[in-house]
Amino acid sequence: MNRTLFLALVFCAALLHPRSSGAQYLYLDANGDGVHTDADIVSPGTTHLDVWLDTQYDRDGTFQSCNAHTGASSEGQSEGPDLFSYDIFLLAEHGTLSWGEYQDCVGFHAPPNEDVNTRTATAIHITRYADPGAEKPAGHYRLGSLTVTATSGTPLIRFGLMKDGDYGAFGTDCPASEFPNTYVYGIDFFDADGLRYGGPSNHPPVFDFVQPVTVIQNNPADVTLHASDEDLQPLTFSLASGPSFATLSDLPIEGQARLHLAPGPGDLGNFLVRASVSDGTYSVDQYVSVAVKRELLLHPIADVTVQGGTSLVRYLYSDNPLGHVLSYSVASGPPFVTVEGGEPASAWMTIRPALSDVGDYTVTIAVTDGHIQDQTTFHLTVTAGAAQAPDGMNRPPVAAIFGPADAVAGRAVRFDGSGSSDPDGDLLGYSWSFGDGSAVTSDLRPQHAFAAEGDYPVTLTVRRRRSRGCSSRTPRTRHRATSRSGCSPPPGSSTRRSSAGARSPPSRSPTPRGTGSRRAALPRTPGRTRTTTGPPRGGSSSRRTTWRFSRAAEWSAGSRGSPCAAPSRAVGNSSPPWGSRPPAAAARSISNCRPIP
């Protein structure tokens, strides 16, 4: 019968008949006496077995007439089910078998399509059917026989339930519960006996899972592997596959082995190790994922474009899995590129070109722990800066803060203002305010401890020495800078130049405080925005920029409320507002300040 059509008919019939318990009897006999007892076993070597089917009686000898156990009608059926085909589905467990040739004993033959007869080391499906008129009446039959040989483990044999087109069944003229004219084991009858293994029992070892492993180049590491055996048999470990730097050896403690990993200079990346454990019969594999990292890796630096007469600060980061103290340096490049810092993983680079340093440069930064060194190279472009102010007039300084993103309450953190610069080369004075009511300090690199949790605006004001300076206040903004000045000339105002060439004040009076705002989209560097205010009154020369940051890395810059600031402009504008130097400041906000654990 075509198996596809057969299963389709089976599904339709399943809707017509209820499922109930009952039995015929299907069993294996290994000693030739025609019955199944505890003496019927699978031998450690080769076993001859017979397959028996009783269509009239179940295991305990209870008589079963046609459909006695089904919802189908049994009218006119006083005998048990007859037999015109059969399917044998046997499974091996706890080991593997070699199946011999099957010999039919009731005169049935194999179907033309041999694809239905399948076999593996752990399963076999056998199908036979009768020619028309060769059906067998209800009775007790030796369906066939075959030999099996145990090839590994301690295999037992059992009859399998229906799975993926494989099943045990016999064809009969009696209507069945679900499949038409087919009694299926596990659906229409349930009595079946296979063969247990006759030798000593054995179970496969259990190999414990191993977490992914990370090792450092040129630094050997050991991983302990664990396995157990239910039968308490000795276990042996072996390396089935893996990189050349991996070796495996048994430890004196039973069920443990050492995986030794010794990656060399060329062993970088991700690797897979396959280890095996065996009890002499069963072998079980376990995979170990191994990642090999460099001893020291300096992160790449993106190409930089900076304007002459200004400065720029970039963080430098390294992967330093060994935790050594690092030293950074400029391996090659122009003298206006400097590197500072020496924390275990990071430092900072300052680029401060003069107006005359316009051009393209190749810069190489190096890091070392005293034994290992790594380098990275980037391209630096210095563009033309603003021209020197006429008549010796000064331009505003640039304030820059380097500091941490957050802090722990009560622990000192360090800030650095060395990234600040003056385009005219003037000496600068520094004034730090930490936003917590503490005293102002004038150190270039101050340290400060915040006493309590909170969000603190840290402000740096840089001034040309001997200038009068100008105070301003910066509002928080997100990803833009807004400068508001109380000294901005109103729209339509004009300026005039004196006979000496100096710029005169606007012809109109200053606008009221807080008006005349100007908003500029600023050039972006990661996490920073900047603004520059115009020249203040009285010839003071300072510049004020505020940095505020938090866990979300929100930055702001600008000035507001200064009674002595003239119109603002964004850093990088092509022409400066000539005159006295404008105020400049840098401020940064510490957030998520936590109590000391």
Calculate mean pLDDT across residues 423-450: 86
Kindly state the DSSP code that residue 308 receives in the 8-state scheme. T
How far apart (Å, rounded) are the C-alpha atoms in residues 458 and 406?
12
> Are the C-beta atoms of 434 and 456 separated by less than 8 Å?
yes
Confidence of residue 464 (pLDDT cuts 50, 70, 90): confident
Mean pLDDT of 387-409: 71
Where does 3-197 sit in CATH, by number?
Answer: 2.60.40.680
Q: 563: pLDDT confidence band, cut at 50, 70 and 90?
A: very low
Using the Cα atoms of residue 170, residue 171, residue 176 and residue 178 in order, give the sign of their dihedral: positive
Would you state the torsion angle of the CA atoms of residues 28, 34, 39, 44, taken in this order, to the nearest 10 degrees?
Answer: -50
Spatial separation of the C-alpha atoms in residues 120 and 124, rounded to whole Å: 6
Matching CATH topology for 297-383 and 393-489+513-597? yes
Q: How confident is the model at residue 418 (pLDDT cuts 50, 70, 90)?
A: confident
Work out the percent of the chain whose per-residue pLDDT is above 70.
Answer: 69
Mean pLDDT, rounded, for 21-39: 86
Task: Report angle CA 427, 430, 432 to the nearest 5 degrees.
Answer: 170
Torsion, Cα of 495, 500, 501, 503 (10° steps): -30
Q: Give me the count of residues in the chain.
A: 597
Handedness of CA 349, 353, 357, 360 (dihedral sign): positive
Q: What is the mean pLDDT of the chain?
A: 74
221-230, 270-279, 532-541: least confidently modelled range: 532-541
Which CATH number does the domain 206-293 belong to among 2.60.40.10, 3.90.1170.50, 1.20.1600.10, 3.40.630.40? 2.60.40.10
Report pLDDT for 223. Answer: 97
Q: Which fold has domain 393-489+513-597?
A: Immunoglobulin-like (2.60.40)
pLDDT per position as a tens digit, 540-551: 333 333 333 322
Residues 67-119 have pLDDT tens digits of 655 444 444 445 678 999 999 999 999 889 999 999 999 999 998 887 778 99
Least Cα distance to 470 among 423, 424, 538 occurs for 538
Q: What's the half-sphere exposure (Cβ side, CA atoms, 13 Å) at 155?
A: 25
Inform me whether the pLDDT recorded for 383 exceeds 70.
yes
290: its two tokens: 């191994």
Residue 471 confidence (pLDDT) above 50: no
- Structure letter (DSSP) for residue 213: E
In the chain, where the domains are located: 3-197, 206-293, 297-383, 393-489+513-597
- What pLDDT sits at residue 330? 95
Rounded mean pLDDT of 443-472? 76
269: left (phi over 0), alpha (psi -120 to 50) or beta: left
Lowest-confidence range among 26-40, 215-229, 292-306, 570-584?
A: 570-584
Tokens 């095996």, residue?
Answer: 276
Q: Does domain 297-383 have CATH number 2.40.10.10?
A: no
Cα–Cα distance list, 326 to 295, 318, 348, 370 (Å): 12, 9, 12, 8
* Encoded tokens for 588: 């940064």
**Any idea what the Cα angle at residue 390 is, between residues 384 and 395, rounded to 5°?**
60
In the structure, what pLDDT confidence band is assigned to residue 525 with cuts at 50, 70 and 90? very low
Query: Which of 189, 195, 157 has the alpha carbon at shortest distance from 170?
Result: 189
- Of residues 261 and 20, more confidence is placed in 261
